[in-house]
Structure 1
């Protein structure tokens, strides 16, 4: 169904020749970052991954969906989807196993990828409690429910970018519900759930909905986008006719039901909960194992471009600061806004990139661009 993007060929040949850490029998050092610290720069590993025509400027120039009415039609005639799928598939050199704790398994690598501040255990998804906490039992969680997917416990069903450790009671409550907003939207039939005394999810069974806490919603959105694009599962934000679903593998039973309430919810969650430094580092560590990255962590902007929508002009992403660092000092400060204002006055006091100065990407440098930078500085601090 997908067309190979010619510009990626040299990139693919290079990456296929590079052994992953797992192939070499090594476990990466545990994730040293905290959760929920906003990431305002790409890691060195992320920058090294995108080359030979795969840089953001090149891929973001490709056309997105011509018809995003359904998750399936959004895949068609979509140059950007094809390029991202090809990139993440061609560089995916090693596949983890689903069960157990032996080398090569999901749980074996979680000790590295899902650790927090180099701890000796790992953090449980949705709740942020540690796996060694009293009374905690673990489930291997398909963020994209396996009843709504063409995989079970291999390929997309055992992908380290996708599968996460989850408290078993929370996993049972989540079941195979789709993601959506509940808290503050519904009053009847809502169950609030807690782990270790902290409310971290809501369930409304009669609406088939599950909502996680706000500071995990972006993680969820970026995982769903990865599975949609890497594993070509079309039922992302709309139900899909069974005849349009990919073939089931190893007893998969994809029912074609959507996994998130709608495309607006997906993008809102992605924007409201920015990538954190822990998530960026996890992406690095998974790449040392599998070879591929979740491109929606490095460049959340692709989520909007994929569906033919304008990227929010003041959304914080790992690359936003570097692209708006007008004076080139490595950080986003009021000096960058001042540089734009001086440019408007035609003083030419500071040297800066005209492209970076155009913060809202409208083709002109205006006072709006300076205001965008100032608003983003406030968000970051």
Structure 2
């Protein structure tokens, strides 16, 4: 029989609910003597009249033939079908919420008077979390008289209950007496969030959002050990370029140096080079970090430069810097009779002093006090053991 077919149904004189209520009528209560049948009506299939052998009429109502048995739940009133998996899942899917009625709550939940389950941590938290005006989760019978002291981040209502301070002056009455929407001018030492609530000034720009809209952490000046996100928030500098989005807008992971592969070496400035170039005695990183801290490779009869290269012992303290950092000419006992001693102890050939070119790292070979007329012939060779004291104005013409 198709759904569009219609069948006659007789109705008893005794009041009998037709419609949604009929689904709740038991077969025995839906019977009446044949003598009481007074009318015949046409109805869509699904409302069926069965005549028993005992001359009784039995009214049977399929509440909603569209819903699939055992797979869908029929909402009362609207006859809407929702998946059975949404039955008792903690969310109201039926317009009247009957898919969440009569459900057992889990051990970590609390059941409101209307049958809905909420997180047990929301019970007696100063905020009405049960739906549609149900205040059972904040009632005095459940929470007591609330004579305890509210936390610094809570507001005490007139009835003694506590509500989140961020709900003060937000345009909604969270206290039963409306105390959270009175005196909405911020007090001295407080600032108003863009969302309306007042917070102590000490809680502004402290790295944690207390305003509901986060406005207390916008346009803050970050300290030297912090990074400022594009939206104004400050995060610790250690979270910059760590591969995790710590800023809501992701700016902490932008413009980061490339991440080197496992077979590569990361220079101090973020540059990647092949791993085998590390400690090969040749500088490849722009900052030279690939040759820093390398184990010595020089023989006992050699001198090791800071970059790992080896010099012969004869090149040490010979007056010619041959290490990139000139460390082969530092710490020398003294300069020879044919050498000039720089202010930092480096020895250079005497002929290079006062030649108009800086050969000493500290420039002491070209200081005006030693070279009255730079660019002319170098000063006369001093006696052996010259220590860099002022050179006389005697020049070789």
Q: Name the TM-score, length of structure 2 as normaliser.
A: 0.18
Higher share of residues assigned strand = 2
Q: Name the TM-score, length of structure 1 as normaliser.
A: 0.19
Higher share of residues assigned helix = 1
Which protein has the larger Cα radius of gyration, Structure 1 or Structure 2?
Answer: 2
Structure of greater relative contact order (alpha carbons < 8 Å, 6+ residues apart): 1
